[in-house]
Amino acid sequence: MSEYRLFIIIFVCIFPAIIQAQSLEATETQALLEVSVSSMEGKARTGEIILLKGKRTKKIFKGITDAKGKFALLIPEGDTYQIQYKTFSGDIKYDEITIPNEAGRYTYQFNISYNPAKTFTLKDVFFDTGKSTLRPESYKALNEFVELMKAKPSLIVEISGHTDNVGSSESNQNLSLQRANAVKNYLISKGIAANRIETKGYGDTQAIDTNTTEEGRQKNRRTEVRIIKE
């Protein structure tokens, strides 16, 4: 089941570019994209990271919404772009938009509306067995976590550690807290303020799968992020 309850409204308008009070202007080879992101209730969503990935060129373009939930960027014509949204648990694929290669200067607009989930499981964050030492392959996912936190300077989160039921309840609770703190310390080392991050260790008390199989235990061993304040 998806971690998101999404309702996406995308509309595309093509018209000769008449840009007022804006530094970006469409060219003969680059279209201007004006993007607006809001909640289902119509509230502007600030600091949202939108990715557009070209199917033909494989190039990636990124925009971050401002206080009004908007951004604009220039994007090459003659390609179809996959629209993705960056989250704590990875990039979510949305729709596609095709930018035709036509003579003239054009502006494309699209709106996206959604209400994200408040709790995420951090993917690709790994620890040494029975320890709270972050493995190097975790750094890529954690660096994306840092990027999201920096894009939303008012965001406050809880990082929680969870284990399977192997070992005593006390040792599992301690280990889960130590792992949550390891993630927090990594974020702090990358410039995120400590007062924006709370940590908790739940041990094996919040299992999401059975502990009778290795596959189930692996799912239970996880690190979660809960949004406390946006």
What confidence tens digit (pLDDT) does each residue in 179-198 have? 999 999 999 999 999 999 99
pLDDT band at 22 (very low <50, low <70, confident <90, very high): low
CATH, range 5-115 = 2.60.40.1120
By mean pLDDT, which of 72-76, 94-98, 133-137, 176-180 is the weakest? Answer: 94-98
CATH, range 119-229 = 3.30.1330.60
Residue-wise burial string across 134-159, b where 16 or more C-beta atoms lie within 10 A, e elsewhere: beeebeebbebbbebbeebeebbbeb
pLDDT band at 93 (very low <50, low <70, confident <90, very high): confident
SS (H, E, C) 186-225: HHHHCCCCHHHEEEEECCCCCCCCCCCCHHHHHHHCEEEE
Closest CA relative to residue 179, chosen from 217, 132, 115, 228? 132
Please check the confidence at residue 6 and state whether its pLDDT lies above 70. Answer: no
Domain with CATH 3.30.1330.60 in the chain: 119-229
What per-residue confidence (pLDDT) applies to 183?
98
Digit-coded pLDDT (tens) for 37-64:
999 899 999 999 999 999 999 999 999 9
Strand 49-54 relative to strand 79-87: parallel, antiparallel, unpaired?
Answer: antiparallel
SS (H, E, C) the chain: CCCCEECCCCCCCCEECCCCCCCCCCCCCEEEEEEEEECCCCCECCCCEEEEEECCCCCEEEEECCCCCEEEEEEECCEEEEEEEEECCEEEEEEEEEECCCCCCEEEEEEEEEECCCEEECCCCCECCCCCCECHHHHHHHHHHHHHHHHCCCCEEEEEEECCCCCCHHHHHHHHHHHHHHHHHHHHHCCCCHHHEEEEECCCCCCCCCCCCHHHHHHHCEEEEEEEEC
CA distances (Å), origin 152, targets 69, 83, 147, 226: 12, 20, 9, 14
Digit-coded pLDDT (tens) for 151-160:
999 999 999 9
What per-residue confidence (pLDDT) applies to 158?
98
Structure tokens at 38: 């809001």
Residue 101: CB atoms within 10 Å: 11
Distance CA 224, CA 201 (A): 10
Q: What is the mean pLDDT of the chain?
A: 89
Distance CA 70, CA 109 (A): 11
Do 84 and 171 meet the contact criterion of CB atoms below 8 Å apart? no
pLDDT band at 19 (very low <50, low <70, confident <90, very high): very low
Q: What is the mean pLDDT of residues 207-227?
A: 95
Q: What is the mean pLDDT of residues 69-80?
A: 96
Domain with CATH 2.60.40.1120 in the chain: 5-115
Whole-model pTM: value is 0.82
